[in-house]
Structure 1
């Protein structure tokens, strides 16, 4: 600071003005001229001065000159002071920045050790994902406000959804990019097809995965009225056509909107939507994918630590959270949930720690529950290899089955099922029934995880219709939730698994390790291929989380791969082609030309009929934006809908893959 102040003092000395001094011109101005021409202050000189008016004018001019010189010197010093202070502030900002970035972490050695110990304890995956989740959570409100602005302007410019009663309902960004909501004519006639991968089945699944992004009012109107209407708007928008309405109507069954807030957090940590629809004895379960402007959904995608379920494999923890099955992100957090035995500073920290341990305990109990259900397969295999039976062996297996049943029922009674009414409880006591043997099934709790709510709803429809079968579908995050839900159901409920006709996902990320992937493949693709997974071109999402030795996430089983011309290859066990960024950019340029310029030319040259409908203005803008982020732009549901309708095979029964032990 002293060095930086030297120029200022030097300039002040030259100008005759010192900082903090009481320099004044009054002593000089009080001096009077003497008789010999020199300035003096004697009374004689004062008297002589009064008698000479000319000397008074000289004194006035001298006073004005001194004032002007003083003011100019003061202004120069003040300007120099401001310049020096500005330079000092800039240097100070640089020093502070360097200290914060380089020296401060070293000085805060205790915090550095605590964070290092946290990363060693929980692993790099949880540490990295927790940091990403915290950044996304901090920007949640900003992202939502920006999304509302974009969607509001989009609905004002391009119009929202007009219901059959004339009501206008705003659409999300996904709906604005592609306003198609009607099914194809063949789909209305042929759905459901006995072949799981048939085009009518895929058309219903991709359209359900697309409209589930919208508001519940839009979904109800589309399913109850548009899909059942004899009047359908053509895809190219040139008019309407009349078709024979299907004999079996589509029916909207239930809308699931699951949001949960973790103890100690300010906002929701899970926002998951799903819906159930039905046509005849066919039930379709669709999960909503990642909303573009929802930081909560992005946090669910990026929270990728493993959660191990014995006998089933390791799965993506964020997707478990999406189904409402525990929130282990706060466990052993260095600031919010200290390890056992560590000092706790405040009551809020104690509440967060207790809530975190409670959530971990629930997820541990769920893992044990799934493992208990899985052991029945091993028990059946072991008993089939035994020859002959003895009373002791029968008693052993009976006691073992009773123990497993008790464990399963204890978990459901603690976390899933609602309290039994007094009337039902007294009736069970009089009948001497064992736990879990009630003739009247109990309802699930109102705050039960989404997994159990959907499972209970499916069981209700299965009990009501012995011929009911289920299609499960989703796009992006919705595809991951659909696959994980199916895997968990296949592990713990044979009743629902036997009724699953197909699991169809579009742009689904990886959800588990090799063990879980092979389990899902063996349960769904033997003896018939029921797991249909579609990947479009250079879409990035199906290629994450990575399958390297560091991440160890895996896809397994056949999948459908669609190229930029919407030609679909059907059924291969190889992983999807690697993503080449240069090829992805070239593909985005080709898609922009092919879907906008060429389709407009083809609509004029070959009007009977056009190969595909011309793209709307939002779709063209989205393809232009995809030139900069081609791997993200390829993930749009529009590409998957076009691939299904213009490249999906009709569906043939393929030879069943070999069973893998």
Structure 2
């Protein structure tokens, strides 16, 4: 198969929409992956000389099967999610289930409006806090991390919610929210918003990418898609995340695109725009008006992956102005985005441009441990990993414990830890204050952790708590002489 994608020196592109089940089964018994019509495979010289082993073919099989299932169930999943979120908000609007029943019999049921500033997503119902921590002011080493996490949490909500929270509660400026186009999924499935934190002594622009919506099949397909592209001199990068950020079919990453992809973040009448290009042009415009202004990239889960890939594309396009003004990247529960070569390339670029990159991992969160870090998938983390245990004690580590999650020896300790997290949900308000109180919905979610500890540990609640309760020492840059082991909690 000819390798005609000029932006990539080698690649493996999975196409689940073109697969038939029996052809997919044949993949397990044939080492010639390139013979399958649903796998567009152009390996480098070393890989081309070797057959693809069974374990790697099995991983491709699972990835395509999962995506195929998600595509098949996308509408029912969306309908269920919409109904479930409406039910959660219906109960909330009427205070509780008992009051809802009483209002029903009295004909006084308060119905939620999905477009209103009070309507919360599934993620929002897990943690309803809207206020920033008033004790963490600008200048505190925790400030950017705490603000970034709250912005990452808010990114899951609708436009009215985001604008209201940023303006009325945070006293900042919301500069735009947008649904960005995914050229491969042919729909606007990538979301982000921009806010400005401006005062006499600083101006910080925050770009927050939304993570995986629990009932959005497109987001899950981006996560499960283990396609990869290798950029010469850069390394291999996760294809699903690149597609979500704005890669174009058969064009890849041209430095400039046609003018029809306008950078107006709030214009809903034009053709949908691509996230990377629209945000890049918006940042150039905003930063050019104040030479002292800086910006931050952030996101939770899938959003974290997009946040760290954004500067990678800036490097690819030699966007020195934006690289110089990038204050830092703060990601929370972020999955792996590339191979070891890519990690080494990015660490060099971040260091040369003096860009801070903190990758926050809480407890047994499953997502940062995916895709696997092994010889078959080759995905590796990089950057400064700030790991927090269930007591929200943080420390800087090279890699989070139990890096690939699934371990028979680790299962029981993780379940025991999940039990104590459930107990903590009842005790933490008395120890830390009423703002740390957890709702019944989150407690029900934590019960799932008794069987699957990695799922509730991915909740924004724990990441918000970690950025507020963790020691400020862990937010110092690794190059700072004060950031020695004895100063880290």
Shorter-chain TM range is 0.7 to 0.9
Q: Which runs of 5+ in 1 are unaligned?
A: 1-103, 229-249, 327-358, 370-410, 421-444
**1:591 maps onto 2:421 in alignment:** yes
Equivalence for 2:217: 295
**1:129 maps onto 2:63 in alignment:** yes
- Which of the numbers 214, 217, 221 marks the counterpart of 2:157? 214
Distance 1:270 1:515 in 2: 31
Does structure 1 retain, via aligned residues, the 8 Å contact 2:229–2:236?
A: yes
Does structure 2 retain, via aligned residues, the 8 Å contact 1:129–1:305?
A: no
Does structure 1 retain, via aligned residues, the 8 Å contact 2:204–2:296?
A: yes
Distance 2:161 2:117 in 1: 10
Helix, strand or coil: the match of 2:124? helix
Q: Which runs of 5+ in 2 are unaligned?
A: 1-20, 42-51, 96-109, 263-269, 482-489
Distance 1:469 1:529 in 2: 11
- The 1:278/1:211 distance shift into structure 2, 3 A limit, reads same
- Which of the numbers 467, 471, 479 marks the counterpart of 1:655? 479
Equivalence for 2:303: 478
Does structure 2 retain, via aligned residues, the 8 Å contact 1:160–1:168?
A: no
**1:252 maps onto 2:174 in alignment:** yes
Equivalence for 2:4: none
Does structure 2 retain, via aligned residues, the 8 Å contact 1:568–1:649?
A: no
Distance 2:228 2:119 in 1: 38
Distance 2:94 2:238 in 1: 36
Please list the CA deviations of residues 124-183 of structure 1 after superposition, one character each: whole Å capped at 9, or x if unmatched: 4655533321211101011111111211111111239999xxx66321111111110110
* CA displacement at 1:626 relative to structure 2: 2.2
* CA displacement at 1:185 relative to structure 2: 1.1
* CA displacement at 1:491 relative to structure 2: 3.2
Does structure 2 retain, via aligned residues, the 8 Å contact 1:312–1:516?
A: yes
Equivalence for 2:363: 537
Distance 1:447 1:153 in 2: 31
Distance 1:460 1:130 in 2: 40
- Which of the numbers 189, 210, 224 marks the counterpart of 1:271? 189
Helix, strand or coil: the match of 2:207? strand
TM-score by length of 1: 0.57
Does structure 2 retain, via aligned residues, the 8 Å contact 1:270–1:296?
A: no
- The 1:595/1:310 distance shift into structure 2, 3 A limit, reads same
Equivalence for 2:292: 467
Distance 1:160 1:637 in 2: 25
* CA displacement at 1:534 relative to structure 2: 0.4
* CA displacement at 1:261 relative to structure 2: 6.2
- The 1:200/1:630 distance shift into structure 2, 3 A limit, reads same
The CA RMSD measured in Å over matched residues stands at 3.2
**Where do 1:42-441 residues align within 5 Å?**
117-118=35-36, 122=41, 124=57, 128-159=62-93, 169-187=118-136, 190-191=137-138, 193=139, 198-228=141-171, 250-260=172-182, 262=184, 268=186, 271-280=189-198, 281-326=203-248, 359-360=249-250, 362-363=251-252, 366=253, 412=256, 415-418=257-260
Equivalence for 1:520: 346
Does structure 2 retain, via aligned residues, the 8 Å contact 1:186–1:200?
A: no
Tell me how many residue pairs correspond in the alignment: 407
Helix, strand or coil: the match of 1:501? strand
- The 1:222/1:296 distance shift into structure 2, 3 A limit, reads same
- The 1:581/1:455 distance shift into structure 2, 3 A limit, reads same
Equivalence for 2:314: 489
Distance 1:419 1:521 in 2: 31
Query: Which has the greater radius of gyration?
Result: 1
Equivalence for 1:4: none
- Which of the numbers 540, 548, 559 marks the counterpart of 2:385? 559
Distance 2:261 2:315 in 1: 27
Please list the CA deviations of residues 218-271 of structure 1 after superposition, one character each: whole Å capped at 9, or x if unmatched: 00000011112xxxxxxxxxxxxxxxxxxxxx1011112114465xxxx75550
Please list the CA deviations of residues 420-451 of structure 1 after superposition, one character each: whole Å capped at 9, or x if unmatched: 9xxxxxxxxxxxxxxxxxxxxxxxx9554221
- The 1:513/1:214 distance shift into structure 2, 3 A limit, reads same
**Counting strand residues as a fraction of each chain, which structure ranks higher?**
2
- The 1:622/1:115 distance shift into structure 2, 3 A limit, reads same
- The 1:615/1:141 distance shift into structure 2, 3 A limit, reads same
Equivalence for 1:639: 462
Does structure 1 retain, via aligned residues, the 8 Å contact 2:153–2:300?
A: yes
Equivalence for 2:49: none
**Counting helix residues as a fraction of each chain, which structure ranks higher?**
1
Does structure 2 retain, via aligned residues, the 8 Å contact 1:313–1:516?
A: yes
Distance 1:183 1:419 in 2: 35
Distance 1:638 1:256 in 2: 24
Equivalence for 2:440: 617
Helix, strand or coil: the match of 1:634? helix
Distance 1:490 1:559 in 2: 22
Helix, strand or coil: the match of 2:472? coil
Helix, strand or coil: the match of 1:271? strand
Does structure 1 retain, via aligned residues, the 8 Å contact 2:335–2:370?
A: yes
Does structure 2 retain, via aligned residues, the 8 Å contact 1:160–1:169?
A: no
* CA displacement at 1:599 relative to structure 2: 3.3
Distance 1:217 1:550 in 2: 44
* CA displacement at 1:275 relative to structure 2: 0.6
Distance 1:646 1:514 in 2: 32
